[in-house]
Structure 1
Amino acid sequence: MFLTAANLAHYLTARAYIQVSDIVDGQFSVVEAGQNNRNFKVRWGSHHGCFIKQVKSLEELRRTSIRREATCYRWAQQFPDWARLIPAVIDYDAARYTLILELLPHSQNLREYYYQQTTFSESIAVSLAQALSAFHMIELDPQPSLPLNNQELPAFTKKVPWIFTYHKKSYFDPAHLSGGAEQLGVVVRGLPQLQLDLARLFEIWRFEEIIHADIKWDNCLVYPDQGALQLKIIDWEVVDIGDARWDVGSVFQAYLSYWIMRHYRDLKQQRQQMVDETKQNMPQMFSSIQAFWNSYCLARNIADVDRSTYLTVCLEFAAVRILQTAFESLHFCSEMSPHAYALLDMSQQVLRDPRRAAVELFGFAEDAL
């Protein structure tokens, strides 16, 4: 049932994706790239390859997620502006819960890319803004010109992200929850103002647009093509009808959490040291952040008079998304790490005064708020 590096060659030849000659010529290779799933980068010959994604277990949540992602890839093909932003689908093996996608040559996710750079690209920020606006603007009602069928739609759940209520209830199997992740819930339950902010933001959530719902730099691939870096968005497991401000806020949080998460394996880092480093280094990102925001507002036709209110909510959602990043960073931790505490501090700082955070942490002009 489950694929491994050892049996992938047999699987691909049995399904006629490759020939035996592709294996014996010595250019066949498999690289494991899994985190939450069984992921493999497979290459053969000099110009051929695919990316294979299979569930790690047969839990209903995992099976539902990959079915939703496969359906999303198929459905997106009806919208050219959206389809060009995602990898091409080679096949979906429903029996094995396995999705096979094109392998983008020389690709890196944005986290890897920025770890190697000394500047933060405005052009990539613009590409990301245009990508988000492309699927945020899709009309959800079937149009006569499109062969839409409700049976072909992804299984939209219309749920507010779990992090908004994690302090009330854990949605995860206790056997798979680390001590650090449990402790995060305990710490948040000891912060009354943070709980009030989470409750308030939960209430203003809107179910209006198609959202990716898990935007982060790990899910944004850049790769060279036609002399420029191109961008595609991957991992559509939790695609949903929801609030576009969550996706936009998730981009803001990717900038803000970068300086903390770039050293998340170094447990010698001090909590306050990471907070201070973030504040000192954010100005390096200001031009990229502004390019993203201005391009997104332009693409979505957000009027100048409405931008301040929209931005404030996006930043507050960014603060909530930082809490989720803290949770994700604790997957293998027996207790709260200094990095998770630093992320929690940044989250609370934004929520205490989002307008001040807009200026000091994200580089927005005071007269724009």
Structure 2
Amino acid sequence: MRLTLERIHLYLLDKGFIEPASLADGDYMATQMQTRNIIFRVTRQAAKSLFVKQLNSFDPNNTYVLQKDATCLWLIKNHPAFEQLSGYVPDYFGFDPEKQVLVTEYLPDSSNLEDYARLNQGSLPLHVREELATILASYHFPLTAQVLGSRSVQFFPRQMPWVMNLADTDVGTQQGLFSQTATPNPVLSAVLGSADFRSVLVSIKSEWMATSLIHGDLKWMNLLVQRAEDREKVKVIDWEIADIGDPLWDVAGVLQGFVTNIILYHPNIATDSFSLVPGVGLGHLQEAWPLMDHFWRLYRAQTAPDAKPAEEAAALAKALRFTGVRLIQSAIEQNMMMPTVQPNSTKLLQASYAMLSNGPAILQQFTAAPVAELA
């Protein structure tokens, strides 16, 4: 049964997610939006608001992804190892496997980090960067045998991100997966046609270390800034791709946000031609390095405070390479419905190539600027 706006209150009452008093008192307002899923937002004043997600298509892959989202949220809220993280995700209310419905907390007074940054002149205040580092550190720890033995943890498949396997799989199959037009995805063709990109994708797989719980899709769109009790609090949503994986992949998702926040909204970055030239595209990223460096230092102070200088440099270099690969992934995903390389995909690919081709130079530009200058 598919839920409708007219009947969603009956479903929520039947499952015990809302009380009859909410309806009787008028403390209930539901709205519906259609994405790849059926989404309802139920706003209340006297109790927590609800975010209701039902699958639009009950195919095995969609069913598995929603179940993983529910399993991960249950794990975070119930396993003592993730107690610190539990305060940084919306509350989990329940999962209905029969109707494929997930009910979590809705945060009405919030905006995703991408929109929030644009409202703050393209930057993130110090307290937001600090909270981001604390959130990632709260679950980026090596999992013990006891945690790994949990049935919820055993649900995770331990897969690498799909972008890392591009160079090793059939081109025809890839185009079928990443193009929704009659023509091949031109960004995918550009990536696989570049010996430099292919070399990076082949070599970086050897760096992957599956040691921790990871979000897997930690982009700024999946980070909400909520206004609560006269302060701003960050919450992480959409754990559909969560897995046991390399924590620096999540770190790269945050670092990518600093890069894309500049290149996608910078009026002076040309997009009329696409070329892969080492160094081109780095100039506009100078504004991002201090913020990225500061976030990195905050994160590492909590996750590896005793790291030797060589270890620290190697970890940062790996995080930056992962960031370059995430830019490739985003460029491919943004171009799936277009027969030509789009301007934003051009920016993302050029920035990726610039970062992957100039790793040592970029490391030297992370100057550890004083916190006061970055507030």
Interval containing the TM-score (normalised by the shorter chain): 0.7 to 0.9
Residue aligning to 1:129: 133
The CA deviation string for residues 58-93 of structure 1, in whole angstroms up to 9 with x for no partner, is: 121111111111111111122211211211111111
Call closer, same or farther: CA 1:312–1:42 in 2, change over 3 Å: same
The CA deviation string for residues 156-208 of structure 1, in whole angstroms up to 9 with x for no partner, is: 11111101123434777938832477222211121011101110001221121
Classify the secondary structure of the residue corresponding to 2:341. Answer: coil
Classify the secondary structure of the residue corresponding to 1:3. Answer: coil
Are the aligned partners of 1:120 and 1:284 in contact in 2 as well (CA < 8 Å)? no
Residue aligning to 1:76: 76
Identity rate, percent: 24
Between 287-296 and 28-37, the greater mean CA deviation after superposition? 28-37
Give me the CA root mean square deviation: 3.1
Residue aligning to 1:314: 319
Alignment of 1:322-341 (within 5 A): 322-341=327-346
Residue aligning to 1:355: 360
Matched, 1:224 2:227: yes
Q: Which letter does structure 2 place at the counterpart of 1:295?
A: L
How far apart are residue 35 of structure 1 and its match?
Answer: 3.8
Call closer, same or farther: CA 1:287–1:356 in 2, change over 3 Å: closer
Q: Which letter does structure 1 place at the counterpart of 2:144?
A: L
- Given the alignment, which residue of 154, 177, 180 partners 2:179? 177
Call closer, same or farther: CA 1:6–1:271 in 2, change over 3 Å: farther
How far apart are residue 130 of structure 1 and its match?
Answer: 1.1
Residue aligning to 1:248: 251
Q: Which letter does structure 2 place at the counterpart of 1:191?
A: S
Supply the distance in 1 between the matched residues of 2:76 and 2:46 (Cα, whole angstroms). 30
Between 131-140 and 38-47, the greater mean CA deviation after superposition? 38-47
Call closer, same or farther: CA 1:69–1:60 in 2, change over 3 Å: same
How far apart are residue 56 of structure 1 and its match?
Answer: 2.5
How far apart are residue 134 of structure 1 and its match?
Answer: 1.0
Classify the secondary structure of the residue corresponding to 1:137. Answer: coil
Alignment of 1:1-369 (within 5 A): 1-19=1-19, 22-23=22-23, 28-33=28-33, 35-45=35-45, 48-77=48-77, 78=79, 79-118=82-121, 119-137=123-141, 139-142=143-146, 150-153=150-153, 155-167=155-167, 168-169=169-170, 174=176, 177-179=179-181, 182-262=185-265, 270=272, 279=282, 282-302=285-305, 303-305=307-309, 306-359=311-364, 363-364=366-367
Are the aligned partners of 1:136 and 1:210 in contact in 2 as well (CA < 8 Å)? yes
Classify the secondary structure of the residue corresponding to 2:225. Answer: strand
Are the aligned partners of 1:271 and 1:339 in contact in 2 as well (CA < 8 Å)? no
Supply the distance in 1 between the matched residues of 2:326 and 2:19 (Cα, whole angstroms). 45
The CA deviation string for residues 308-366 of structure 1, in whole angstroms up to 9 with x for no partner, is: 11000100010000011112212432332121122111111111121223445xx4469
Call closer, same or farther: CA 1:205–1:152 in 2, change over 3 Å: closer
Call closer, same or farther: CA 1:321–1:14 in 2, change over 3 Å: same
Call closer, same or farther: CA 1:199–1:172 in 2, change over 3 Å: closer
Structure 1 segments of 4+ aligned residues over 6 angstroms from their partners? 170-173, 275-278
Supply the distance in 2 between the matched residues of 1:278 and 1:47 (Cα, whole angstroms). 49
Are the aligned partners of 2:280 and 2:354 in contact in 1 as well (CA < 8 Å)? no
Classify the secondary structure of the residue corresponding to 2:319. Answer: helix
Q: Unaligned regions of 5+ residues in structure 2, if any? A: 370-375
Classify the secondary structure of the residue corresponding to 1:187. Answer: helix
TM-score, length basis structure 2: 0.84
Q: Which letter does structure 2 place at the counterpart of 1:13?
A: L
How far apart are residue 256 of structure 1 and its match?
Answer: 0.8
Between 107-116 and 168-177, the greater mean CA deviation after superposition? 168-177
Supply the distance in 1 between the matched residues of 2:364 and 2:53 (Cα, whole angstroms). 41
The CA deviation string for residues 99-148 of structure 1, in whole angstroms up to 9 with x for no partner, is: 111122401110111121113222211111111111111533217xxxx8
Supply the distance in 2 between the matched residues of 1:181 and 1:222 (Cα, whole angstroms). 37
Q: Which letter does structure 1 place at the counterpart of 2:331?
A: A
Are the aligned partners of 2:212 and 2:244 in contact in 1 as well (CA < 8 Å)? yes
Call closer, same or farther: CA 1:156–1:19 in 2, change over 3 Å: closer
